[in-house]
Amino acid sequence: MTKVGLVAGGLGAYWPQFPELLPQLKLSAERVSERMREFGCEVVDAGFISDPQEGDRAAEQLRAAGCDLIVAFLTTYLTSNMLMPVAQRSGAPVLLLNLQPTEVMDHATFDTGAWLAYCGACPMPEMVNAFRRCGVEARCVSGYLEEPAAWDKIGRWVRAAGGRAKLRRGRHGLLGHLYPGMLDVSTDLTLVPRAFAERVEVLEIDDLRVRVEQVGDAATDDRVAHAREVFTVDSTVAEEDLRWAAKVSVALDQLVDDFGLDSLAYYHRGLNGETHERVGAGMILGASLLTARGIPAAGEYELRTSLAMLILDQLGAGGSFTELQALNFRDDVVEMGHDGPAHLAISDGKPILRGLGVYHGKRGWGVSVEFDVRHGPVTAFGLGQQPDGAFRFVASEGTVVDGPLLRIGNTTSRVDFGRHPGEWTDDWSMTGIGHHWALGVGHRVAELRAVADLCGHELVTVTQEGIR
Q: What is the pLDDT of residues 109-147, one digit of tens each?
A: 999 999 999 999 999 999 999 999 999 999 999 999 999
Domain annotation covers residue 37? yes
Half-sphere exposure of 358 (CA within 13 A, CB side): 3
Same domain, 197 and 94: no
Q: How many whole angstroms separate alpha carbon 59 and alpha carbon 177?
A: 46
Residue 29 placed within a domain: yes
Mean pLDDT, range 432-461, rounded to an integer? 96
Per the structure, the count of domains in the chain is: 2
- Is residue 179 assigned to a domain? yes
| 378-395 pLDDT per residue, tens | 999 999 998 888 899 999
Residues 86 and 228 in one domain: no
Encode 149-165 in three state secondary structure: HHHHHHHHHHHHHHHHH
Check residues 213 and 408 and name the one with the higher pLDDT: 213
Q: Return the beta strands (E) in 276-351 as ranges.
A: 297-298, 318-328, 333-338
- Boundary residue ending a domain (106, 131, 160): 160
For residues 150 and 296, give the distance between their C-alpha atoms in angstroms, rounded to a whole number. 31
pLDDT of residue 198: 76
Domain shared by 46 and 184, yes or no: no
The residues that bridge with 367 in the sheet, in sequence order, are 355
What is the model's pLDDT at position 99? Answer: 98
Is residue 137 located within the same domain as residue 215? no
Percent of the chain surpassing pLDDT 70: 100
Judge if 285 and 138 occupy the same domain: no
pLDDT, tens only, 324-349: 999 999 999 999 999 878 899 999 99
Contacts by residues 137-142 (CB-CB < 8 Å, ≥ 24 positions apart): 137/93, 137/94, 138/87, 138/94, 138/95, 138/96, 139/93, 139/94, 139/95, 139/96, 139/450, 139/453, 140/95, 140/96, 140/97, 140/98, 141/95, 141/96, 141/97, 141/98, 141/99, 142/97, 142/98, 142/99
Other beta carbons less than 10 A from residue 240's beta carbon: 9
**How many CB atoms lie under 10 A from the CB of residue 252?**
28
Better-scored residue on pLDDT, 198 or 380: 380
Phi-psi region of 47 (alpha: psi -120 to 50; beta: other; left: phi over 0): left
Task: Give 173's contacts (C-beta < 8 A, 6+ positions apart).
Answer: 200, 201, 203, 255, 256, 259, 261, 263, 264, 265, 266
Residue 307 within any structural domain of the chain: yes
Q: Confidence class of residue 31 from pLDDT cuts 50, 70 and 90?
A: very high
pLDDT, averaged across the chain? 95
In a domain, 165, yes or no: no
Residues 29 and 60 in one domain: yes
Q: Residues 190-214: what's their mean pLDDT?
A: 91
Burial of 205 (0-12, 13-18, 19+ CB in 10 A): buried
Which has the closest alpha carbon to 116: 74, 158, 156, 147? 74
CA atoms 345, 346, 352, 355: torsion sign = negative
Instruction: Return the CATH number at 331.
Output: 3.20.14
CB of 398 within 8 A of CB of 269?
no
Give yes or no: residues 86 and 222 share one domain: no
How many residues would you count in the chain? 468
Domain-embedded: residue 343: yes
- Same domain assignment for residues 54 and 96: yes
Given a cut of 90, is residue 88 above it in pLDDT? yes
Res. 197: pLDDT tops 80: no
Using the 3D structure, point to which of 137, 160, 183 is the last residue of a domain.
160
User: Which of 127, 160, 193 is a domain's end point?
Assistant: 160
Distances (CA, A) of 467 to 244, 414, 420, 431, 464: 45, 21, 14, 8, 9
Measured CA distances, 452 to 50, 227, 340, 366 (Å): 33, 36, 27, 38
Could you tell me the pTM of the whole model?
0.92
- Residue 228's pLDDT band (cuts 50, 70, 90): very high
Whether 406 maps to a domain, the answer reads yes
**Same-domain check for residues 326 and 252:** yes
263 vs 248: CA distance, rounded Å: 17
Over residues 405-418, the mean pLDDT reads 92
Domain that holds residue 215: 170-467
User: What pLDDT sits at residue 431?
Assistant: 96
Closest CA to 194 of 438, 389, 431, 447: 389
CA-atom Rg of the chain in angstroms: 25
156, 185: one domain: no
Residue 227 pLDDT greater than 90, yes or no: yes
Spatial CB neighbours of 118, under 8 Å, sequence gap ≥ 6: 100, 101, 105
Q: Give 200's strand partners.
A: 172
SS3 302: coil
Looking at the structure, do residues 111 and 202 belong to the same domain, yes or no? no
pLDDT band at 400 (very low <50, low <70, confident <90, very high): very high
Asked whether residue 32 is domain-assigned, the answer is: yes
Residues 174 and 155 in one domain: no
Q: Which helix (H) or strand (E) holds 365?
A: none
What is the CA angle 56-58-64, rounded to 5? 100
pLDDT band (50, 70, 90) for residue 21: very high
CATH code, domain with 13: 3.40.50.10940
60-64, 153-157, 339-343, 375-379: least confidently modelled range: 339-343
Q: Does position 60 have pLDDT exceeding 80, yes or no? A: yes
